[in-house]
Amino acid sequence: MTDDRTRLRRDLSALDADFIRVLEDLIDALIANGSLRLTDLPPRALEKLTQRKQTRQRLKDALDLIPDDDAIL
C-alpha cells in the first residue's frame, strides 16, 4: 500500500509540473493578446513566475553546448 501511495505522489508531482507549464504558457498567451498585463498579477505570483522563467532560461543556456556565433562558420 505504501508503494502505491509513493507512486501516486510521484505521478501527481509530475502532473503538477506539467500543469504548471500549461499555466505559464496560458499566462504568456493572455499577455501576448493583451487580455492580461503582468501588473494584473499579485506580486507574489509575479515573483514566482519570474523566478521560474529565469531558472528555465538558465537551464536552457546551460544545455546550449554550441554557441550561436556565426563568425565561426
Predicted confidence at residue 65, as pLDDT, reads: 67
Structure confidence by residue, pLDDT tens digits, 1-46: 679 999 999 999 999 989 999 999 999 999 999 999 999 999 999 9
- Between 64 and 45, residue with greater pLDDT: 45
Tell me, rounded to whole angstroms, the distance of Cα 59 from its chain centroid: 11
Predicted TM-score (pTM) of the model is: 0.69
Quick one: cell of 47?
515573483
For the chain, the structural domain boundaries read 2-62
**Start-to-end C-alpha separation, the chain:** 59
Predicted confidence at residue 15, as pLDDT, reads: 94
- Rounded Cα distance between 40 and 72, Å, is 44
Q: What is the mean pLDDT of residues 45-52?
A: 94
Going by the DSSP 8-state scheme, the letter that residue 46 receives in this structure is: H
